[in-house]
Amino acid sequence: MVKKDRNVVKQKEEKIEVEGVVKEVLNGGDFIVELPNKHTVKAYVSGKMRVNSIRILPGDTVTIELSPYDLTRGRITWNKR
C-alpha cells in the first residue's frame, strides 16, 4: 500500500503578463488587443475591474494575463490609460 502525502500542493500554471494596446471593442465585453510583437489577442475584463466599472477604450494601454496553453485569449488585469 502506497501512502500519499496530503501536504503536497500542486501549483497553478504560471501566467504570462504582457502589455498591449486596445484596438477594438467587441460585443459582450471583449476586446481586440495588439501586443508589441504585432500579434492580436482577444481579451476580456477581469472580475475586479468589472465590479469596479473600470472603463476601457480603444487606444488604452492595458496589461494582459495569457495562459501558456492558449496564447490567443487573455484577461485584462490593469488599465494604464
Tally of structural domains, the chain = 1
Tell me the CATH number at 28: 2.40.50.140
Q: For residues 72 and 44, what is the distance between their CA atoms, to the nearest angstrom?
A: 12
Higher pLDDT: 47 or 11? It is 47
Residue 76's nearest CA partner among 13, 7, 59, 61 is 61
User: For strand 73-79 and strand 61-66, is the pairing parallel, antiparallel, or unpaired?
Assistant: antiparallel
Q: Could you tell me the residue range of the domain that residue 27 belongs to?
A: 16-79
Per-residue pLDDT averaged across 8-37, rounded? 89
- The answer to whether position 2 is within a domain reads no
pLDDT category at 64 given cuts 50, 70, 90 is: very high
69 lies in some domain? yes
Say yes or no to pLDDT of 62 above 90.
yes
Domain contains 3: no
Assess if residue 9 is contained within a domain: no
Q: Mean pLDDT across the chain, nearest whole number? A: 89
Among left, alpha and beta (phi > 0; psi -120 to 50; other), residue 29 is left
Q: What's the pLDDT at 4?
A: 59
- Residue 32 in any domain: the answer is yes
